[in-house]
Amino acid sequence: MEILHDVSIEVQEGEFVSVVGPSGSGKSTLLYCLAGLEPVSSGSVSLVGTDIASLSRSQIARLRRDQVGFVFQSYNLLPSLSVRENVEMQARLAGRRVPRGEIDASLQSVGLESFGNARPASLSGGQQQRTAIARALVARPRVLFADEPTGALDAVAGTEVIGLLRQTVTDERAVVMVTHDPEAAARTDRVLVMRDGRVHREMVRPSARDVFRAVEHAA
Ligand SMILES: Nc1ncnc2c1ncn2[C@@H]1O[C@H](COP(=O)(O)OP(=O)(O)OP(=O)(O)O)[C@@H](O)[C@H]1O
Ligand SMILES: [Mg+2]
């Protein structure tokens, strides 16, 4: 089944892009395709400068592990590991030896410094979400994809997480974030409005009100 149609987008280093649109419009699918998690049936995807069609499955896996961060809509934490171990493992997989202090700093940056030893199942949805964000950031990906990273957070925690993502967008990094929150989208550089599997509109630094209206119009 074809889910996305005629999508052509480019994200540059140093850009913070958000993807908005009604439920079922293809936002998560777009992120999966861009991140090499879902193959495309036609067209091409270039990830960190490499056409992924030219890579084997294991090469794609390696590229993702080393250069790409992904915060899933459903968090995907490993239940048998503690919060700290979940964060640590991702960096290890990416071949980074992370000093203890850095893990502490990343937990602190998402407000989870006192939850390092907790198991994911004992955390609230928002705390699990923040663990997933710390885990993705600690590996220092060139590009971070985040599927509704503030979906389970209250307004204050959500604002902090957007600030954190904003900070990670340095010259060598990019963040692509799906969100339902017009306020969050308005804090990004560019907003893609999806509708029925297409990029229906693209807005540069819009106001939250403009994003809200555009999503309403796309529904
Ligand atoms: N694995 C799949 N197989 C078949 N269809 C799928 C699959 N995943 C998603 N779809 C369909 O693709 C469309 C887009 O789904 P997608 O999850 O990308 O939407 P979304 O914009 O992220 O929605 P939401 O805001 O609810 O998360 C939907 O119609 C969905 O039913
Ligand atoms: Mg989705």
Each residue's pLDDT tens digit, 109-141: 899 999 999 999 999 988 999 999 999 998 889
Strands 198-204 and 46-47 come out as unpaired
Nearest C-alpha neighbor of 13 from the set 178, 170, 200: 170
Residue 96 has pLDDT above 80, yes or no: no
Looking at ligand 1, which residue's alpha carbon is closest to its atom 31? 24
Model confidence band, residue 22 (pLDDT cutoffs 50, 70, 90)? very high
- What's the pLDDT tens digit per position in 57-94? 999 999 999 999 999 988 899 999 999 999 999 888 87
d(CA 155, CA 124): 15
Q: Which atom of ligand 1 is nearest to the CA of 194?
A: 21
Looking at ligand 1, which residue's alpha carbon is closest to its atom 16? 26
Q: Which residues surround ligand 2, an ion (CB under 5 A)?
A: 28
Strands 190-195 and 198-204 come out as antiparallel
Q: Exposed, middle or buried: residue 151 (CB in 10 Å: 0-12, 13-18, 19+)?
A: middle
Domains of the chain by range and CATH? 16-77+142-218 (3.40.50.300)
Ligand 1 site: residues with CB under 6 angstroms? Answer: 1, 3, 21, 23-29
Select from 2, 19, 28, 71 the residue to mutate for testing ligand 1; criterion: most ligand atoms less than 8 Å from CB. Answer: 28
Nearest C-alpha neighbor of 192 from the set 1, 34, 2: 34
Q: Which atom of ligand 1 is nearest to the CA of 32?
A: 18
d(CA 32, CA 157): 25
Q: What is the DSSP string of 194-218?
A: EETTEEEEEEES--HHHHHHHHHHH
pTM: 0.93
Which residues have C-beta within 8 Å of that of residue 105, sequence separation ≥ 6?
none
**Tokens standing for residue 19:** 């993807």
Output the CA 131–ligand 1 centroid distance in Å: 24
pLDDT at site 139: 86
Sign of CA dihedral 59, 61, 66, 69: positive
| DSSP letter assigned to residue 82 | -
- What's the pLDDT tens digit per position in 137-181? 988 899 999 999 998 888 888 998 899 899 888 878 999 999 999
Amino acid at 4: L
* Mean pLDDT, the chain, integer: 93
- What's the pLDDT tens digit per position in 169-193? 887 899 999 999 999 999 999 999 9
Least confident range from 50-54, 96-100, 134-138: namely: 96-100
